[in-house]
Structure formats: structure tokens, C-alpha cells
Amino acid sequence: MALVPPGKWDARFLGPVPHDTSYYAKCMLGGILACGITHAGMTPLDVAKVNMQVNPSKYPGLISGARTLVAEEGLKGTLKGFGPTFVGYSLQGMFKYGLYEVFKDAYMNLAGEELTAKYKPAIWLAGSASAEVFADIALCPFEMTKVKIQTSPSGSFPVAFGAALSQMRISKAETRYPFGSLGPLWARQIPYTMAKFFFFERIVQLFYTHALTEPKESYSKTTQLGVTFASGYLAGVVSALVSQPADSLVSQLGKAENKGKTISKIAGEVGFVALATKGLGTRVLMIGTLTGLQWWIYDSFKTAMGLGTTGGK
């Protein structure tokens, strides 16, 4: 039953538990687990995808590219950038998921009950976009370091996390560290996150409206988490397609040959078709799986904390 204070509609009291400071803090922790673990686990796919984007002649496909990496650098070459990936995306997940809950509630209360019911999709979009602005500020220094590690020829740049961060600081005039890639990162991540949250919420809503028509709380946690994973995976595929050109551009910024070039110049040289298609298949596989697992981990943690799963009718 909703825990709404008498005589007042408040979005923070519409779920199974009140959305207080403790709730938001637990959501932030869930976001850390969801994003840090999954992105770090996908490092080998990410290394292959980034190199396919910046050097397609050498790394034309996922399997052949992985073979080239292993042949030249051993299995450790497929794990380049693991450290900054884990730290950066843990911080990003904390703000992405935690602040989404904060902004969503705030915008629902700002709109009021009637407008919330009418324009809920717009609130999902606004909440996710607002959260991602802050999430990317936290991510940017680590994403820049990760891309530099992954795209630098073997032996030309430190691979160890601490040494790589130090080198990025030392050469910040060239690397534009720590926020030189923030614009392209926002261009990639904000549309991606808006699609990720919008389509997730919408697909969950469709599940509980057309397929599972009883009240959501009447279904087992296993069923609810199955809906979470399926919705997350489908949302991830759409998100990958939406954000692919900007993701390719972020990868190109770490390429040595592009040092000192403007973003518009790099985009013009590479071309939109290449930005939109190089490494796309690998990224769809990566992001679909990644997003499904992220939502499953996040909602599993929320369920374990007694907060309930995300979304519904």
C-alpha cells in the first residue's frame, strides 16, 4: 500500500517504502555495484571495440581483432584499462542510478499528480538526462585514461592504473586531461542514458500491462527480476544504436594521430557512416548484455534491501 501522507500527493511515498535519504543512498550503492562490476567485466570486449573504431584496418572484426591483440600483447592485452574502467564506471553508476531516483521524484513532485500521470515518459527522460550530467563529470577523467591506455601502441603509454593517471596529468596539455572529453562524453552518454532509462521503464510498464496483468507485487521476485533483465537488455540494444557515433568519437580522441585536432575535424575526417557503424555489432552485443545485467544487479540489490524492483504500471 502506498505510504502517502494524508491529504498530500508526494512521489516519494508512492512505492513500497518511502524514498528518504537512506533509500537514495542504497540506490547509489546499487548503482556502484551495477555499473562497476559489469563494465569492468566487459573490458576485453571494450578493448576490441575501441581498437576496431580507431584502427579498423588492423582490427576489422571482433574475433580477428581479439586474436591480433592476444598475439601481440598476450591475454593481458585484452584487460588494458580494467582499473580506470572499474573506478570510473563505479562512480558513474553511483550518480546515474542514485540521482535518477532523486530527480525523478523531484520532477514528479514539481509536475504534480495529474501531469505526472499524463507526462510520465517525459519525466523519465528529464530525470535520466539530469543524472547523467553529473555522472559523466565523475567518469570523464577515468574514461579518458581508459581510452588512452587501450588505443596507445604497446609500450608507448603506461598500462598500470596509477602510472597511467600520472602520465595523463603530466601530459595534460596534450591529452586535455581531466575533462577534455566531457563534451563528447555527454553527447554519447546523455542520449544513451535517456534511451536506457526511458525504454527500460516503458518495456517494464508494457510487461506489467499486457503480459503480467496482476499487481506487480503479486509476482515472485524471480519473475520480477526476469522482467528487469529482459527489459534492460532490450533497452540496451536501443541505447547502443542511439549513442554509437559519439562513442566512436570518444575513442578517436584517444588516438595518437588525432592529438591536437578539434572534434569537428576528427568527425569530418572519419565520416558519419564510419562513426555510426565501425564496431557497432560488438557494441550492441556488449551494451545489450551490459545493460541487462546492470538493471538485474541494481534491482536484485534493491530487492535485497527491501526497496522493491524498478518500474511498473
Tell me, yes or no, whether 12 lies in a domain. no
Tell me, yes or no, whether 14 lies in a domain. no
d(CA 200, CA 311): 8
Contact at 8 Å (CB) between 159 and 150? no
Digit-by-digit pLDDT tens for the chain (313 residues) are 345 555 689 999 988 899 999 999 999 999 999 999 999 998 998 888 888 877 888 888 878 888 888 888 888 889 999 999 999 999 999 999 999 999 999 999 999 999 999 999 999 999 999 999 999 999 999 999 998 998 888 888 999 999 999 999 999 988 889 999 899 899 888 988 999 999 999 999 999 999 999 989 899 999 999 999 999 999 999 888 888 887 787 778 767 677 767 778 888 877 878 887 887 888 888 888 889 999 999 999 999 999 999 988 6
Tell me, yes or no, whether 60 lies in a domain. yes
Task: Name every residue whose Cβ is closer than 8 Å to that of residue 267 and which is 6 or more positions away in sequence.
Answer: 249, 275
Tell me, yes or no, whether 313 lies in a domain. no
Domain limits for position 267: 29-304
Kindly report the pTM of this predicted structure.
0.83
Q: In a 3-state reduction of DSSP, which class is residue 266? A: helix
d(CA 81, CA 115): 45
Cell of 244: 554509437
CATH of the domain at 110: 1.50.40.10
The number of domains in the chain is: 1
Cell of 180: 577534455
d(CA 263, CA 282): 24
Contact at 8 Å (CB) between 271 and 4? no
Tell me, yes or no, whether 4 lies in a domain. no
The long-range contacts involving 67-75, CB below 8 angstroms and separated by at least 24 positions, are: 72/154, 73/154
Tell me, yes or no, whether 11 lies in a domain. no
Cis peptide before 178 (omega within 30 of 0): yes
